[in-house]
Structure 1
Amino acid sequence: MVADDHPLFRQALAMAAANVAPDAHIVEASTLDRAIATAAAASDLMLVLLDLKMPGSVGFSGVAMLHAERPSVPILVVSSAEALITAPEARRYGAVCFIGKDQDLAAIENAIAAVLAGNSPAPPTATHDDIEVMADKVASLTPTQLRVLLGVLNGQLNKQIAWELGVAESTVKSHMTTVLAKLGVQNRTQAALAARALGLGANH
């Protein structure tokens, strides 16, 4: 099953899967609800190619829900999210592999073939330089921006963070936009993962 809300990329993933397993019947889903219904109905499901950003999905909920529905079916996450940050978390919620949408068709086909063969390619690991770069990005945040990031890390909504900081919710949104840009991530989930990877908010 190919689960992605972008028609062209869904078609590309279907092509990659067909090249690897030409005898397989490929089904498509453009929403999380449709993907879950398809997974529940398809008794011979071999593999799920899943985008994290789909209608009905928040963060890693798509991975978790599909894994809960069909725990024996491998999930290969194909996403534009930052691999070093997202891949370990995707695995925690049930994915067996992660590959970026920026990879070429051959790389995606190799990942599909490996998973179908029962192998799970090693996840990307952060090098010391990667960690240093992210640490420098976090260090560039202002005290208020850090407080907003820690609020996100604690699972707080913008209005909760605003109440604690004594500012307007619109101000928190503005700070959050700046935090995302400074960290080079796309959403709150990735920002929280980056912060957690650096030990922010940890109780030592």
Structure 2
Amino acid sequence: MTTLNVLIADRSPTYRLGVQIALQNAGLDCTCCEVEAWNEVQATLARVQSTDLLVLDACLPELGHFRQLERLLASHVELPVLILTDLVSTNFVRKAYLSGASGVILKSSSLETLSEALSSVLKGSFLHPEKDKRYWVNTPGREYLVDRLTLLSEKEKCVLNHLKYGLSNKQIGLQLCLTESTIKSHLSSIYRKLDVYNRTRLAMSIQQIV
């Protein structure tokens, strides 16, 4: 099993430990890096060659209501992010998704629920409560997306088809006999052609056209 690199950004040492325990309970082999400020998140991502998951405290100083997260994911489009929060509202969840987060979970959730959430996001899924499906909004319209699909090459369409099943870049590469870097290159082209700028927006778009 490949060791995963997880960056845990939270103000509380106790909660950072809780995330590590949840990862262990999920049976995930992870190397965890802990930080407690937003500037440390940026510095760590610049230093660590490959980060498989960012677990992010929504109240982290300098996060700025997801503005900083959106900027970060513009240059780390493949990075899944699980948002930890004490309180949740319609507007909060909507902003988190539109900023590129892969999921939102309450800090008051059970250890089992947190383990399931971490495992789900690491596998490429997008985590949101059933009642929160209405938050997946503000994506380009269906007719617009169908029209933009004509711009994709046959290989890009194959990548997109595999992506809708929640496969990681590595898994898609194995399915198509392509390297992971080639898959990333195809995804960058897909983002541009479909007029989306992160993996979450792309997943939201796929839901409208499949």
1:38 corresponds to which of 39, 44, 59? 44
**CA radius of gyration, larger in:** 1
Count how many residue pairs are aligned between Structure 1 and Structure 2.
127
Residue from 70, 73, 84 that aligns with 1:67: 73
Secondary structure, counterpart of 1:26 in structure 2: strand
**TM-score normalised to the size of structure 2?**
0.55
What code does the residue aligned with 1:17 have?
A: L
In the alignment, does 2:18 pair up with 1:8? no
Whether the aligned pair in 2 keeps the contact of 1:40 and 1:70 (CA below 8 Å) is no
Does residue 52 of structure 1 match 2:65?
A: no
User: In the aligned structure 1, how far is the partner of 2:75 from the partner of 2:9?
Assistant: 15
For 2:125, give the aligned amino acid: N
**CA positional deviation for 1:121:** 2.4
Q: CA–CA distance in 1 between the matches of 2:31 and 2:75?
A: 20
Aligned to 1:82: 88
CA deviation vs aligned residue, 1:8-37 (integer Å, no higher than 9, x gap) = 111111221233354211111100000111
Q: What is the aligned partner in structure 1 of residue 119 from structure 2?
A: 113
1:27 is matched with which residue: 33, 38, 44?
A: 33
- The farther-off stretch of 89-98 and 58-67 is 58-67
Between the aligned partners of 1:55 and 1:38, the Cα distance in structure 2 is 16
Identity %: 24
What residue is the counterpart of 2:182 in the other structure?
A: none
Compare relative contact order (CA 8 Å, sep 6+) and give the higher one, 1 or 2: 2
Change (3 A) 1:94 1:104: same
Question: 1:126 Cα deviation (Å)?
Answer: 5.8
Change (3 A) 1:22 1:110: closer
What is the letter of the counterpart of residue 106 of structure 2?
G
The amino acid that maps onto 1:58 is G
Mapping 1:178-193, distance limit 5 Å: none
| Superimposed CA distance per residue, residues 126-174 of structure 1 (whole angstroms, 9 cap, x where no aligned partner) | 69xxxxxxxxxxxxxxxxxxxxxxxxxxxxxxxxxxxxxxxxxxxxxxx
Unaligned runs of 5+ in 1: 128-204
Q: TM-score normalized by structure 1?
A: 0.56
The structure carrying a bigger strand percent of its residues is 2
Cα offset for 1:125? 3.1
